[in-house]
């Protein structure tokens, strides 16, 4: 039940509309000023406005439009504000009242260059204020202030707002909040000179259905006008040759470079196309998609996994801008999450199971319009391969130790089908079973000269040497080489194992066997012939090669081979999954090798990935201590769950392929 608004004699009656003007003046190096009519909402976050539903569809103040969109209601937004202020070292009593001055949405769109949160004591006196600033690059930043008796405060500028001013200077702020007048005045000074000033001032009137309807008619499309006018004045200043700042980032400034801005290319649609398509595709899936207002889409029942949307506008605009990348980046940004009680892998599985039937064929036929080609710099040339491998495997050995088992094996385990539930089996034992299966298939015994392409952290080399084999193992990861050499030396096997930092194209000699575990995915289609030719060249005439590869069906490979996806951008640059048919064709056309045995075990990979993800989550505090942040955590959670869903549904498979000649 909504609390009654608190009445303080010197404050406006709330909720209110503040109707007035905004004046912006640029003093130097080019003088330019403008004044526009303007209105904003002023509400107490404890007492959300009560308006008819039809009017809310036209205009509404939403919590998810503020402070990173983590709140789903205005009272919850108050908690976020108080936490931020207290985190900045300002003590606030539990009785603190929080008022918000901001633009509401109009026809689903909002653009609010400046929102102000007042933190007031029970007598209406300001204890603190939070300024939330947004720029046209989709960046946001907050400043926590402690205003003086007359509402004055100062703070250093550290956020890039305009392309014509860098992040140096200091803001002088004046906040005025009374029954008759609401004013927010900001002046930017640098080196004792005034650069610009912006003042929003207006008279508060009670917010009712009638006053809001009249205001919408008198000031139509206010957020759209604000967004347009900012760009119009920017073009004017650019045309007057005002220098543009080339600064790309600041300590707290622009959008995280790991995440593309939401809606960079959706100025006209504002994500409406993606919103309609998402509603269509989840309509037949056994899931529930829950929007911040409580609306639910999807065919799932009460026990179905729930996708909780935190920031619908950002989610749909990301999806519309980057259909194959947007979902993962939206998860990284916190635009959506698996709801409490829902496992992320379970949530993604229904999508993976019907990936080819999610949308009607005519719509899927248009995907070529929005799909992107794999960047040229991701090519797996010798130099490119080193960079691509380093981008993933040289992140930190401590990272991988945080979720892998004691063998440090980063590929699918092979569980014992006859030994009971996989969840009760030791993961390290299952990894060694997989390694032994590959070594057995390659005929590795005492005296075998073995080449391993892709060292990992050395477990296969150690296990082969323990059989009496002589092992040359190659990697392009310096981190992996260093740890593998340590492990080999600690076991006294340095005379049998040579760990080399080398590309497969650089290896010389002859070997009785070649084993390569889940390395071909990093080779790239362009270089599959060179990879298999290297194996062919390095094998003795009667030698055997075993390649463990992640595979997809051939028609899926053909449909995705030239498109750039989230995994390639964020996890494995230069990576591409082959099909069995594609590998057999390359081997037939370019080598004397033929596939003689196929051992698939994709379901084992799904369980391996779930074990890794649960360990990653459990050990996150330890992993984070090595310098990894929350965006990285969400990135790897999505990666592990996304892959798990692919293997669990058969969209992906993994197999040990045995190659021999003739």
Write out pLDDT tens, residues 392-421. Answer: 999 999 999 999 999 999 999 999 999 999
What is the rounded distance in angstroms from the CA atom of residue 124 to the CA atom of residue 175? 13
Q: Does residue 410 lie in a domain region? A: yes
**Where residue 463 sits, what CATH number does that domain have?**
3.40.50.150
Q: What is the structure's pLDDT at 364?
A: 53
317-326, 507-516, 635-644: segment of lowest average pLDDT: 317-326
- Domain end among 340, 370, 400: 370
Say yes or no: 348 and 206 in one domain.
no
Say yes or no: 110 and 206 in one domain.
yes
Looking at the structure of the chain, the number of domains it has is 3
Say yes or no: 430 and 514 in one domain.
yes
Place 71 in a pLDDT band, splitting at 50, 70 and 90. Answer: confident
What is the rounded distance in angstroms from the CA atom of residue 545 to the CA atom of residue 235? 63
Q: What global pTM score does this model have?
A: 0.67
Place 244 in a pLDDT band, splitting at 50, 70 and 90. Answer: confident
On the question of pLDDT at 607 being above 90, the answer is yes
On the question of pLDDT at 371 being above 90, the answer is no
User: Quick one: average pLDDT of 592-621?
Assistant: 97
Say yes or no: 328 and 306 in one domain.
yes
What is the rounded distance in angstroms from the CA atom of residue 92 to the CA atom of residue 150? 19
Say yes or no: 207 and 294 in one domain.
no
Pick the residue with more confidence: 136 or 508?
508
User: Quick one: average pLDDT of 481-496?
Assistant: 97
On the question of pLDDT at 552 being above 80, the answer is yes
What is the rounded distance in angstroms from the CA atom of residue 71 to the CA atom of residue 400? 33
User: Quick one: average pLDDT of 326-337?
Assistant: 94
Closest CA to 61 of 119, 120, 17: 17
CB 303 within 8 A of CB 543: no
What are the tokens at 19?
Answer: 């109707």
Q: Does residue 224 lie in a domain region? A: yes
Which run of H or E residues covers position 660? strand 652-661
Q: Does residue 249 lie in a domain region? A: no
318-332, 358-372, 608-622: segment of lowest average pLDDT: 358-372
Q: What is the structure's pLDDT at 264?
A: 57
Model confidence over 259-276: pLDDT tens digits? 877 765 555 666 788 898
Closest CA to 597 of 464, 466, 448, 438: 438
Say yes or no: 395 and 536 in one domain.
yes
Q: Does residue 95 lie in a domain region? A: yes
Q: Does residue 442 lie in a domain region? A: yes
User: Quick one: average pLDDT of 106-111?
Assistant: 83
Model confidence over 426-484: pLDDT tens digits? 999 999 999 999 999 999 999 999 999 999 999 999 999 999 999 999 999 999 999 99
Say yes or no: 282 and 401 in one domain.
no
CB 84 within 8 A of CB 92: no
User: Quick one: average pLDDT of 198-224?
Assistant: 92
Place 1 in a pLDDT band, splitting at 50, 70 and 90. Answer: very low
Q: Which segment, 239-248, 275-284, 500-509, is predicted with the most confidence on average?
A: 500-509
Q: Does residue 256 lie in a domain region? A: no
On the question of pLDDT at 248 being above 50, the answer is no
Q: Does residue 618 lie in a domain region? A: no
Say yes or no: 90 and 44 in one domain.
yes
User: Quick one: average pLDDT of 357-367?
Assistant: 56
Q: Are strands 511-517 and 449-453 parallel, antiparallel or unpaired?
A: parallel
The 10 Å CB-count burial string (b at 16+, else e) for 341-369 is ebebbbbbbbbbbbeeebbeeeeeeeeee
Secondary structure of the chain: what % helix, strand, coil (to 5)? 35, 25, 40
Strand partners, 549: 655
Terminal-to-terminal C-alpha distance of the chain: 78
Domain span including residue 72 = 16-239
Describe the strand order of the beta sheet including 511-517 as a list of residue ranges.
497-501, 470-475, 449-453, 511-517, 539-552, 652-661, 593-600
What lies within 8 Å, CB to CB, of 194 at 6+ separation is 27, 28, 187, 188
Say yes or no: 349 and 406 in one domain.
no
User: Quick one: average pLDDT of 241-262?
Assistant: 60
CB 566 within 8 A of CB 324: yes
Pick the residue with more confidence: 163 or 360?
163
Say yes or no: 136 and 173 in one domain.
yes
CB 212 within 8 A of CB 55: yes
Q: Does residue 127 lie in a domain region? A: yes
Q: What is the structure's pLDDT at 458?
A: 97
Which run of H or E residues covers position 85? helix 74-87
On the question of pLDDT at 526 being above 50, the answer is yes
Please give the mean pLDDT across all residues of the chain: 89
What would the 3-class secondary structure string for 572-625 be? CCCCCCCCHHHHHHHHHHHCCEEEEEEEECHHHHHHHHHHHHHHHHHCHHHHHC
- Domain end among 370, 388, 423: 370
What lies within 8 Å, CB to CB, of 492 at 6+ separation is none
Say yes or no: 93 and 223 in one domain.
yes
- Domain end among 349, 370, 391: 370
Say yes or no: 595 and 475 in one domain.
yes
């Amino acid at each position: 039940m909504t609390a009654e608004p608190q009445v303080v004699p010197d404050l406006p009656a709330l909720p209110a509309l503040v109707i007035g003007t905004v004046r912006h003046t640029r003093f130097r190096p080019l003088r330019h000023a403008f004044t526009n009519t303007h209105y904003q909402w002023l509400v107490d976050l404890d007492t959300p406005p009560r308006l008819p539903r039809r009017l809310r569809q036209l205009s509404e103040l939403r919590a998810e439009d503020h402070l990173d969109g983590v709140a789903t209601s205005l009272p919850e937004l108050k908690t976020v504000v108080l936490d931020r202020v207290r985190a900045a070292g300002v003590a606030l009593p539990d009785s603190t009242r929080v008022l918000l001055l901001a633009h509401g949405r109009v026809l689903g769109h909002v653009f609010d260059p400046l929102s102000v949160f007042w933190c007031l004591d029970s007598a209406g006196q300001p204890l603190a204020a939070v300024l939330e600033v947004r720029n046209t690059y989709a960046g946001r930043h907050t400043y926590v202030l402690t205003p003086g008796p007359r509402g004055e405060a100062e703070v250093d500028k550290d956020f890039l707002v305009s392309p014509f001013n860098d992040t140096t200077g200091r803001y002088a702020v004046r906040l005025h909040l009374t029954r008759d007048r609401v004013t927010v005045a900001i002046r930017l000074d640098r080196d004792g000179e005034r650069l610009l000033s912006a003042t929003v001032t207006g008279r508060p009137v009670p917010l009712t259905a009638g006053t809001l309807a009249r205001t919408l008619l008198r000031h139509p499309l206010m957020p759209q006008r604000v967004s347009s006018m900012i760009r119009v004045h920017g073009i004017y200043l650019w045309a007057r040759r005002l220098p543009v700042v080339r600064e790309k980032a600041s300590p707290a400034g622009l959008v995280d470079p790991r995440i593309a801005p939401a809606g960079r290319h959706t100025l006209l649609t504002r994500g409406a196309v993606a919103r309609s398509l998402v509603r269509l595709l989840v309509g037949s899936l056994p899931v529930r998609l829950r929007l911040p207002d409580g609306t639910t889409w999807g065919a799932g029942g009460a026990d179905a996994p729930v996708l909780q949307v935190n920031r619908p506008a950002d989610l749909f605009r990301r999806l519309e801008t980057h259909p194959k990348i947007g979902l993962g980046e939206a998860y990284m940004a916190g635009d959506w999450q698996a709801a409490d009680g829902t496992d992320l892998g379970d949530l993604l599985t229904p999508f993976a199971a019907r990936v080819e039937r999610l949308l009607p064929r005519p719509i899927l036929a248009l995907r070529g319009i929005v799909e992107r080609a794999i960047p040229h710099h991701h090519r797996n040339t010798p130099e490119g391969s080193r960079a691509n491998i380093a981008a993933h495997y040289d992140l930190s050995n401590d990272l991988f130790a945080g979720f892998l088992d004691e063998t440090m094996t980063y590929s699918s385990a092979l569980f014992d089908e006859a030994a009971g539930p996989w969840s009760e089996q030791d993961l390290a034992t299952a990894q060694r079973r997989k390694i032994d299966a590959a070594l057995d298939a390659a005929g590795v015994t005492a005296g075998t000269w073995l080449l391993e392409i892709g060292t990992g952290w050395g477990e296969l080399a150690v296990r082969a040497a323990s059989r009496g084999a002589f092992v040359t193992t190659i990697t392009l990861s310096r981190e992996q080489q260093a740890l593998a050499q340590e492990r080999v030396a600690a076991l006294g096997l340095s005379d049998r194992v040579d760990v080399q930092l080398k590309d497969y194209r650089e290896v010389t000699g002859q070997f009785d066997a070649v084993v390569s575990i889940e390395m071909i995915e990093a080779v790239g289609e362009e270089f599959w012939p060179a990879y298999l030719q290297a194996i062919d060249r390095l094998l003795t005439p009667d030698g055997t090669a075993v390649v463990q590869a992640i595979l997809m069906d051939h028609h899926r490979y053909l449909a995705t081979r030239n498109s750039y996806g989230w995994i390639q951008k964020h996890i494995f640059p230069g990576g591409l999954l082959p099909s069995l048919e594609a590998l057999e064709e390359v081997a037939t056309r370019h080598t004397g090798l033929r596939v003689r045995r196929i051992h698939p075990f994709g379901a084992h990979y799904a369980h391996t990935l779930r074990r890794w993800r649960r360990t990653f989550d459990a050990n996150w505090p330890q992993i984070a201590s090595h310098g990894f942040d929350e965006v990285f955590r969400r990135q790897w959670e999505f990666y592990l769950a996304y892959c798990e869903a692919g293997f669990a549904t058969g969209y992906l498979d993994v197999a040990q392929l045995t190659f021999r000649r003739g």
